[in-house]
Amino acid sequence: MTALVLEGVSKSFGKTQVLHDISLTVEDGEFVVFVGPSGCGKSTLLRIIAGLDTATQGRVLIGGQDVTDVPPAKRGIAMVFQSYALYPHLNVRGNMALGLRQENQSKAVIDRRVSKASAMLSLDDFLARRPAELSGGQRQRVAIGRAIVREPKLFLFDEPLSNLDAALRVNTRVEIADLHRSLSASMVYVTHDQTEAMTLADRIVVLRDGHVEQIGTPMELYNNPINRFVAGFLGAPSMNFLERSVDVPTGAVLGIRPEHLRLQDGGQTAGTVTHVERLGGDTNLLVTTGAGERLVVRLFGQHAIEVGTEVGLGFDPADAFLFGADGARLPAAAG
């Protein structure tokens, strides 16, 4: 059975249309990530799935049931928000159990589900603490635990890591991935962070201006982007785009990822190193070409290259992409 089906979902606020005819199927046990820049409509789409907002057109089906007009509490979903939304007067156990109490579940069911979620999220030592006594990462785990105990048909995550510092984001991201594997649960996750999308998703839905640009596995989108927007959005550092420094058809743009550029005398282009990022395992060079275009070159390992160095750059044409003036992917790249 499919976990989620969206059929022609559109949304307008007054005369402004923010979602355009979106159709999507999420399979049972699948982890799907909505990604895109701020204002692309990803959070609005998640709210429509949750029932916190209504679609102007289209249908939402969860677990095979049409829930388009069903209130959130009866949709069989559990949602984890960007803000932890914990009750400050309740301890961890109380916050995790509250929803079950509101459902009039028995004490035995509540204790069993809270204990299971607590063990899964390493919260056993914190059950008696209140939110003010927890770190940001611990609070987010409590919010996730509160969702787990509901045993929902579908988990919804709305940018759950954006309030955490860099180290906690990595740790919590791994915990969410582990959780998905252990529960075999269906999850829809919203983020603007393409690294989260690439590392968590079974499939990624790339959104722009309320439209679906492309849907696919992380590597499908990375290796075979349908247009310049998708190519530039996924990948860190992002793809380089050239139209003056290499030979391309008039109006076209060549895309080459930083890791596919190599230092090569007599290569396709050349330039001056204007900045060096030494990351230990990698070295990123910012190179300005003679045509005034700026490129990022990602080199594996440590390199003793200084600002001001003149370098030649080459690449395998098979690694390059060619995009038309409208941003659409063209059949072949130029060398």
CATH number of residue 295's parent domain: 2.40.50.140
Q: Where a domain ends, among 173, 198, 229?
A: 229
Question: In terms of domains, do 35 and 109 share one?
Answer: yes
Cα–Cα distance between 152 and 223 in angstroms, integer?
34
Do 137 and 282 lie in one domain? The reply is no
Domain residue limits at 124: 2-229
103/25 same-domain check:
yes
Residues 192 and 304 in one domain: no
Give the integer Cα–Cα distance in Å for 197 and 215.
Answer: 12
Q: What is the pLDDT of residue 225?
A: 97
With respect to residue 206, please indicate whether it lies within any of the assigned structural domains.
yes
Is the domain of 87 the same as that of 220? yes
Measured between alpha carbons, how far is residue 152 from residues 74, 75, 76, 187, 253 in Å?
10, 9, 5, 10, 46
Burial string for 186-204 (b: 16+ CB within 10 Å, else e) reads: bbbbbbbbbebbbebbebb
Domain presence at residue 328: no
Residue-level pLDDT, tens digit, the chain, 335 residues: 799 999 999 999 999 999 999 999 999 999 999 999 999 999 999 999 999 999 999 999 999 999 999 999 899 999 998 787 899 999 999 999 998 998 899 999 999 999 999 998 889 999 999 999 998 888 988 999 999 998 899 999 999 888 778 888 888 888 889 889 988 899 999 999 989 999 999 999 999 999 999 999 999 999 999 999 999 999 989 999 999 999 998 899 999 999 999 999 999 999 999 999 999 999 999 999 999 999 999 999 999 999 999 999 999 999 999 999 999 999 865 44
Statement to judge: residues 285 and 137 lie in one domain? no
Alpha carbons 335 and 270: distance in angstroms, whole number:
14
CATH code, 156:
3.40.50.300
Q: Please report the pLDDT score of residue 335 as a whole number.
A: 46
Please tell me whether residues 126 and 222 are part of one structural domain.
yes
Asked whether residue 333 is domain-assigned, the answer is: no
Taking a C-beta distance cutoff of 8 angstroms, is the pair 11, 52 a contact? no
Q: How many domains does the chain have?
A: 2
E-strand spans in the chain? 2-13, 16-27, 31-35, 57-62, 65-66, 77-80, 154-158, 187-191, 203-208, 211-216, 240-242, 253-256, 262-263, 269-278, 282-289, 294-300, 310-314, 321-323
Domain boundary among 229, 246, 278: 229
Q: Based on the domain organization, do 104 and 144 belong to the same domain?
A: yes
Query: Does residue 313 lie in a domain region?
Result: yes
Q: How far apart are CA 115 and CA 112, in angstroms?
A: 5
Q: Are residues 63 and 90 in the same domain?
A: yes
Q: State the angle between helix axes of 136-148 and 166-183 in degrees (0 to 180), rounded to the nearest 10.
A: 20
Is 330 a domain residue? Answer: no
- Give me the pLDDT at residue 334, please: 47
Residue 331 lies in a domain: no
56 and 166 share one domain: yes
Say yes or no: 215 and 298 in one domain. Answer: no
Final residue belonging to a domain, choices 229, 263, 285: 229
Tell me whether residue 48 is in a domain.
yes
pTM: 0.90
Residue 186 and residue 137 in one domain: yes
The pLDDT value recorded for residue 333 is 57
> Residue 278 domain-assigned?
yes
